[in-house]
Amino acid sequence: MKTLKEIRTKNNLSIAEMSRRTGYSRMFIKRCEETKHVSFNKLNMYAEKLNCRFDVLEENEYKVRFEHSENGLERIIFEFNDSYSLIINLFNKVAYIEKDGLFIEKVNFQYLNNLENLYSFVKGFAINKAKK
C-alpha cells in the first residue's frame, strides 16, 4: 500500500502543483498526506483527486491484488488491515510476509501452492493479526 504522498510524488506533482490543480490549500494537502487533524471524508476527497480510493477493512478482513507483467500473472498480494502483506511471487516461486514494505519472514511456497492451504493460511493470519 502506498501513501498519498508517494502517489503524488510518483506522478511528479509538487504540493504547490497539486494545490493549483485541486483548489485545495497547501496546508490541507500536507495534513491529508500526514493524516493529521483531517476527517476521513476530506482524506477521501483528496485521494479521489489522485485517482485513488480507500478500502476500509474490518479487523480480520484482507484484500487481494494481482500484479501482471508481460509474461502474465506475476504476484498475488494479500493486504491485511495492519500493514502486513503476504506476497506470493509466482515467477520466483517464493512467498513471504512484509510489514510496511519491509521483509518479515519467508513462507513455504509449496505449502501455499495448494488452494486449501492458501485459504487456511490467509484466514488464520488475518484472524491472528486481528487478535493482537
CATH number of the CATH domain containing 72: 3.30.1120
Rounded Cα distance between 102 and 104, Å, is: 6
Mean pLDDT over each residue of the chain, to the nearest integer: 82
126 and 69 in a single domain? The answer is: yes
43 and 66 in a single domain? The answer is: no
Domain with 17 in it:
4-49
Rounded Cα distance between 114 and 42, Å, is: 42
CB 97 within 8 A of CB 109: no
* pLDDT higher than threshold 60 for residue 132: no
85 and 110 in a single domain? The answer is: yes
**What is the model's pTM?**
0.55
- Mean pLDDT, range 87-94, rounded to an integer: 91
Identify the residue with better confidence: 50 or 56.
Answer: 50
89 and 117 in a single domain? The answer is: yes
Number of domains in the chain: 2
Per residue in 97-108, pLDDT tens? 998 889 999 999
Q: How many residues comprise the chain?
A: 132
Domain assignment of residue 54, yes or no: no
Domain assignment of residue 57, yes or no: no
71 and 126 in a single domain? The answer is: yes
E strand or H helix that includes residue 65: strand 62-69
Distance of CA 35 to the CA centre of its chain: 16
72 and 43 in a single domain? The answer is: no
37 and 71 in a single domain? The answer is: no
Identify the residue with better confidence: 56 or 47.
Answer: 47
Domain assignment of residue 81, yes or no: yes
Return the amino acid letter for 122: V
25 and 78 in a single domain? The answer is: no
71 and 99 in a single domain? The answer is: yes
68 and 101 in a single domain? The answer is: yes
Identify the residue with better confidence: 1 or 20.
Answer: 20
119 and 68 in a single domain? The answer is: yes
44 and 86 in a single domain? The answer is: no
